[in-house]
Amino acid sequence: MAEVDLVNTGLPLRLGDGGQLYFREGLPAVQPSLRPWEELRPVLKDPGSRPEGTAYLMYRDVCWPQHRESLEGHRLRYDLTVIPAARAGKEPVRTHGHYHATVPGSDLTYPELYHVVCGEAWFLLQRPGPTGATEVVVLRGRPGQYVLVPPGYGHVTVNVGKSTLVIANWVERHFASSFSEMRARGGAAYHVLDGPAGLELVPNPAYGEPVPVRMRDAFPLRALGLAEGEPSYPAGVREPERLGFLVDPGSWRDVLARAWQEGGLA
Ligand SMILES: [Fe+2]
Protein backbone atom coordinates (compact mmCIF):
# COMPACT_ATOMS: atom_id res chain seq x y z
CA MET A 1 0.00 0.00 0.00
CA ALA A 2 1.30 3.47 -0.86
CA GLU A 3 1.76 6.01 1.89
CA VAL A 4 -1.29 8.20 2.39
CA ASP A 5 -1.63 11.78 3.65
CA LEU A 6 -4.34 11.91 6.31
CA VAL A 7 -5.96 15.07 5.00
CA ASN A 8 -9.22 14.44 6.84
CA THR A 9 -7.43 15.08 10.13
CA GLY A 10 -6.35 18.58 9.10
CA LEU A 11 -2.88 17.69 10.44
CA PRO A 12 0.36 16.99 8.51
CA LEU A 13 0.21 13.25 9.12
CA ARG A 14 1.15 10.50 6.71
CA LEU A 15 0.22 6.85 7.10
CA GLY A 16 3.06 4.41 6.45
CA ASP A 17 2.92 0.85 5.21
CA GLY A 18 2.99 -0.80 8.63
CA GLY A 19 0.33 1.42 10.20
CA GLN A 20 2.92 3.84 11.58
CA LEU A 21 2.17 7.55 11.40
CA TYR A 22 4.72 10.08 10.20
CA PHE A 23 4.42 13.41 12.00
CA ARG A 24 5.49 16.13 9.61
CA GLU A 25 6.10 19.88 9.48
CA GLY A 26 7.10 19.96 13.14
CA LEU A 27 3.96 18.37 14.55
CA PRO A 28 5.19 16.69 17.76
CA ALA A 29 5.43 12.94 17.27
CA VAL A 30 3.47 10.67 19.60
CA GLN A 31 4.59 7.14 20.41
CA PRO A 32 1.71 4.75 19.76
CA SER A 33 0.32 2.25 22.25
CA LEU A 34 0.07 -1.11 20.55
CA ARG A 35 -2.82 -3.52 20.92
CA PRO A 36 -1.48 -7.02 20.26
CA TRP A 37 -3.80 -9.67 18.86
CA GLU A 38 -3.09 -11.60 22.03
CA GLU A 39 -5.02 -8.98 24.05
CA LEU A 40 -8.03 -9.40 21.75
CA ARG A 41 -8.14 -13.14 22.42
CA PRO A 42 -10.99 -12.92 25.01
CA VAL A 43 -13.26 -10.93 22.66
CA LEU A 44 -12.71 -12.80 19.38
CA LYS A 45 -15.20 -15.27 17.96
CA ASP A 46 -12.40 -17.69 17.15
CA PRO A 47 -9.35 -16.78 19.26
CA GLY A 48 -7.33 -19.70 17.89
CA SER A 49 -7.30 -18.19 14.41
CA ARG A 50 -5.83 -14.86 15.39
CA PRO A 51 -2.67 -13.63 13.64
CA GLU A 52 0.51 -12.83 15.55
CA GLY A 53 1.74 -9.34 16.28
CA THR A 54 -0.06 -6.01 16.49
CA ALA A 55 -3.76 -5.65 15.71
CA TYR A 56 -3.91 -1.86 15.91
CA LEU A 57 -2.05 1.24 17.03
CA MET A 58 -3.36 4.04 19.24
CA TYR A 59 -1.84 7.51 19.02
CA ARG A 60 -3.21 9.45 21.96
CA ASP A 61 -3.20 13.18 22.57
CA VAL A 62 -2.01 14.39 19.18
CA CYS A 63 -1.78 18.18 19.15
CA TRP A 64 0.16 21.25 18.12
CA PRO A 65 2.03 22.83 21.06
CA GLN A 66 0.09 26.09 20.66
CA HIS A 67 -3.21 24.27 21.29
CA ARG A 68 -2.14 22.23 24.30
CA GLU A 69 -3.07 24.73 27.01
CA SER A 70 -6.50 25.34 25.50
CA LEU A 71 -7.23 21.63 25.05
CA GLU A 72 -6.11 20.79 28.59
CA GLY A 73 -8.20 23.69 29.91
CA HIS A 74 -11.22 22.34 28.06
CA ARG A 75 -10.34 18.78 29.15
CA LEU A 76 -10.26 17.52 25.57
CA ARG A 77 -8.00 15.05 23.81
CA TYR A 78 -7.58 14.15 20.13
CA ASP A 79 -6.52 10.56 19.39
CA LEU A 80 -5.92 8.52 16.26
CA THR A 81 -6.36 4.76 15.95
CA VAL A 82 -4.79 2.92 13.02
CA ILE A 83 -6.30 -0.48 12.24
CA PRO A 84 -4.61 -2.29 9.32
CA ALA A 85 -6.90 -4.67 7.43
CA ALA A 86 -6.59 -8.22 8.79
CA ARG A 87 -8.73 -11.16 9.85
CA ALA A 88 -8.89 -13.61 12.69
CA GLY A 89 -10.49 -16.46 10.77
CA LYS A 90 -13.81 -15.05 9.50
CA GLU A 91 -13.69 -12.01 11.75
CA PRO A 92 -12.36 -8.71 10.41
CA VAL A 93 -10.01 -6.89 12.77
CA ARG A 94 -11.82 -4.85 15.40
CA THR A 95 -11.06 -2.92 18.53
CA HIS A 96 -11.35 -4.63 21.91
CA GLY A 97 -14.44 -2.65 22.85
CA HIS A 98 -15.22 -0.87 26.10
CA TYR A 99 -17.67 1.18 28.13
CA HIS A 100 -17.02 4.74 29.23
CA ALA A 101 -16.89 6.03 32.79
CA THR A 102 -19.83 7.84 34.39
CA VAL A 103 -19.48 11.62 34.66
CA PRO A 104 -19.02 12.44 38.38
CA GLY A 105 -22.25 13.76 39.89
CA SER A 106 -24.25 12.64 36.85
CA ASP A 107 -26.22 9.63 35.64
CA LEU A 108 -24.60 9.85 32.20
CA THR A 109 -21.45 8.21 30.87
CA TYR A 110 -19.03 10.27 28.82
CA PRO A 111 -19.83 10.39 25.10
CA GLU A 112 -17.18 10.27 22.37
CA LEU A 113 -16.93 11.79 18.91
CA TYR A 114 -15.39 9.70 16.13
CA HIS A 115 -14.33 10.72 12.66
CA VAL A 116 -13.45 8.32 9.85
CA VAL A 117 -10.14 9.55 8.42
CA CYS A 118 -9.64 6.81 5.82
CA GLY A 119 -10.95 3.31 5.25
CA GLU A 120 -14.31 1.79 6.05
CA ALA A 121 -15.69 1.24 9.54
CA TRP A 122 -18.63 -0.30 11.29
CA PHE A 123 -19.20 1.21 14.71
CA LEU A 124 -21.13 -1.19 16.91
CA LEU A 125 -22.74 0.68 19.79
CA GLN A 126 -24.55 -1.13 22.58
CA ARG A 127 -26.39 -0.10 25.69
CA PRO A 128 -25.71 -2.36 28.67
CA GLY A 129 -28.47 -4.21 30.50
CA PRO A 130 -28.92 -6.96 33.06
CA THR A 131 -28.44 -9.74 30.51
CA GLY A 132 -25.73 -7.95 28.56
CA ALA A 133 -27.26 -5.46 26.14
CA THR A 134 -30.66 -3.82 25.73
CA GLU A 135 -29.99 -2.09 22.43
CA VAL A 136 -27.52 -2.43 19.55
CA VAL A 137 -26.87 0.08 16.79
CA VAL A 138 -24.38 -0.39 13.95
CA LEU A 139 -23.27 2.74 12.10
CA ARG A 140 -21.44 2.35 8.80
CA GLY A 141 -18.82 5.06 8.42
CA ARG A 142 -16.99 6.29 5.34
CA PRO A 143 -14.10 8.78 5.17
CA GLY A 144 -15.07 12.24 6.34
CA GLN A 145 -18.07 11.10 8.38
CA TYR A 146 -18.52 11.79 12.07
CA VAL A 147 -20.01 9.25 14.46
CA LEU A 148 -21.30 10.04 17.94
CA VAL A 149 -21.06 7.51 20.75
CA PRO A 150 -23.82 8.95 22.96
CA PRO A 151 -23.86 8.72 26.74
CA GLY A 152 -24.89 5.26 27.86
CA TYR A 153 -23.28 3.25 25.06
CA GLY A 154 -20.26 0.98 24.89
CA HIS A 155 -18.63 0.51 21.53
CA VAL A 156 -16.47 -1.60 19.21
CA THR A 157 -15.06 -0.49 15.85
CA VAL A 158 -14.54 -2.97 13.02
CA ASN A 159 -12.34 -2.42 9.97
CA VAL A 160 -14.71 -3.83 7.36
CA GLY A 161 -12.67 -2.64 4.37
CA LYS A 162 -9.74 -3.98 2.42
CA SER A 163 -7.39 -1.14 3.38
CA THR A 164 -6.13 0.37 6.64
CA LEU A 165 -8.79 2.08 8.69
CA VAL A 166 -7.78 5.27 10.47
CA ILE A 167 -10.25 6.81 12.90
CA ALA A 168 -9.85 9.96 14.95
CA ASN A 169 -11.69 10.73 18.16
CA TRP A 170 -12.31 13.67 20.41
CA VAL A 171 -12.96 12.73 24.02
CA GLU A 172 -12.82 14.01 27.61
CA ARG A 173 -9.13 13.65 28.40
CA HIS A 174 -9.09 12.12 31.87
CA PHE A 175 -11.64 9.32 32.22
CA ALA A 176 -10.66 5.66 32.05
CA SER A 177 -12.65 3.18 29.96
CA SER A 178 -13.78 -0.18 31.28
CA PHE A 179 -12.89 -3.28 29.26
CA SER A 180 -14.01 -5.96 31.69
CA GLU A 181 -17.69 -6.28 30.62
CA MET A 182 -16.84 -6.97 26.98
CA ARG A 183 -14.06 -9.33 28.04
CA ALA A 184 -16.36 -11.24 30.39
CA ARG A 185 -18.92 -11.83 27.61
CA GLY A 186 -16.47 -12.67 24.87
CA GLY A 187 -16.98 -9.42 22.96
CA ALA A 188 -19.94 -7.28 22.04
CA ALA A 189 -23.53 -8.50 21.63
CA TYR A 190 -22.83 -9.33 17.98
CA HIS A 191 -19.76 -10.53 16.13
CA VAL A 192 -19.15 -9.18 12.64
CA LEU A 193 -18.18 -12.17 10.50
CA ASP A 194 -17.68 -13.09 6.86
CA GLY A 195 -20.72 -14.90 5.52
CA PRO A 196 -21.64 -16.36 2.13
CA ALA A 197 -23.13 -13.04 1.00
CA GLY A 198 -20.78 -10.60 2.70
CA LEU A 199 -20.45 -9.47 6.28
CA GLU A 200 -22.98 -10.75 8.80
CA LEU A 201 -23.91 -9.81 12.32
CA VAL A 202 -23.90 -13.00 14.37
CA PRO A 203 -25.39 -12.87 17.88
CA ASN A 204 -22.98 -13.57 20.71
CA PRO A 205 -24.61 -16.38 22.76
CA ALA A 206 -23.15 -14.99 25.99
CA TYR A 207 -25.82 -12.24 25.76
CA GLY A 208 -28.80 -14.63 25.82
CA GLU A 209 -31.81 -13.81 23.63
CA PRO A 210 -30.47 -11.50 20.87
CA VAL A 211 -31.69 -7.92 20.89
CA PRO A 212 -32.64 -6.43 17.49
CA VAL A 213 -29.93 -4.49 15.67
CA ARG A 214 -30.56 -1.17 14.01
CA MET A 215 -28.16 -0.58 11.13
CA ARG A 216 -27.62 2.85 9.60
CA ASP A 217 -25.15 4.77 7.50
CA ALA A 218 -23.38 7.35 9.63
CA PHE A 219 -25.38 10.57 9.50
CA PRO A 220 -24.51 14.28 9.74
CA LEU A 221 -24.41 15.56 13.33
CA ARG A 222 -26.04 18.89 12.56
CA ALA A 223 -27.25 19.49 16.10
CA LEU A 224 -23.61 19.39 17.21
CA GLY A 225 -22.58 21.77 14.42
CA LEU A 226 -20.36 19.21 12.69
CA ALA A 227 -20.30 19.23 8.91
CA GLU A 228 -19.41 16.04 7.09
CA GLY A 229 -16.03 16.46 5.45
CA GLU A 230 -14.79 19.08 7.92
CA PRO A 231 -11.31 17.95 9.05
CA SER A 232 -11.59 16.80 12.64
CA TYR A 233 -8.60 18.41 14.35
CA PRO A 234 -9.42 22.00 13.35
CA ALA A 235 -13.11 21.29 14.03
CA GLY A 236 -12.13 20.79 17.67
CA VAL A 237 -9.37 23.31 18.27
CA ARG A 238 -10.99 26.26 16.55
CA GLU A 239 -13.82 26.46 19.07
CA PRO A 240 -13.27 23.87 21.79
CA GLU A 241 -16.47 25.06 23.49
CA ARG A 242 -18.36 23.33 20.67
CA LEU A 243 -17.12 20.02 22.07
CA GLY A 244 -18.39 20.82 25.56
CA PHE A 245 -20.89 17.97 25.18
CA LEU A 246 -17.97 15.54 25.60
CA VAL A 247 -17.08 16.92 29.02
CA ASP A 248 -20.44 17.94 30.47
CA PRO A 249 -23.07 15.87 28.62
CA GLY A 250 -25.71 16.67 31.26
CA SER A 251 -25.80 20.31 30.10
CA TRP A 252 -26.10 19.16 26.49
CA ARG A 253 -28.71 16.47 27.03
CA ASP A 254 -31.26 17.93 24.59
CA VAL A 255 -28.67 18.65 21.92
CA LEU A 256 -27.26 15.13 22.17
CA ALA A 257 -30.75 13.67 21.94
CA ARG A 258 -31.46 15.79 18.87
CA ALA A 259 -28.21 14.71 17.19
CA TRP A 260 -29.18 11.07 17.74
CA GLN A 261 -32.75 11.63 16.49
CA GLU A 262 -31.42 13.18 13.28
CA GLY A 263 -30.14 9.71 12.40
CA GLY A 264 -33.61 8.28 12.96
CA LEU A 265 -32.48 6.88 16.31
CA ALA A 266 -34.63 7.75 19.29
FE1 LIG B 1 -14.51 4.89 23.66
pLDDT (tens digit per residue) in 186-204: 999 999 999 999 999 999 9
> Structure pTM?
0.97
CA-CA distances (angstroms) from residue 164 to 80, 96, 158, 168?
13, 17, 11, 13
The Å distance, Cα 150 to ligand 1 centre, comes to: 10
What is the CA(52)–ligand 1 centre distance, in A? 25
CATH of the domain spanning 4-261: 2.60.120.10
CA of 12 to the centre of ligand 1 (A): 24
Domain ranges of the chain: 4-261
pLDDT recorded at residue 214: 96
Q: How far is the CA of 99 from the centre of ligand 1 (A)?
A: 7
pLDDT at site 210: 94
Strands 76-83 and 165-172: antiparallel
Q: How far is the CA of 123 from the centre of ligand 1 (A)?
A: 11
pLDDT tens figures, 41-95: 999 999 999 999 999 999 999 999 999 999 999 999 999 999 999 999 999 999 9
Helices (H), the chain: 37-40, 65-73, 180-184, 232-237, 253-261
Q: What mean pLDDT is reported for the chain?
A: 96
Distance 155 CA to ligand 1 centre (A): 6
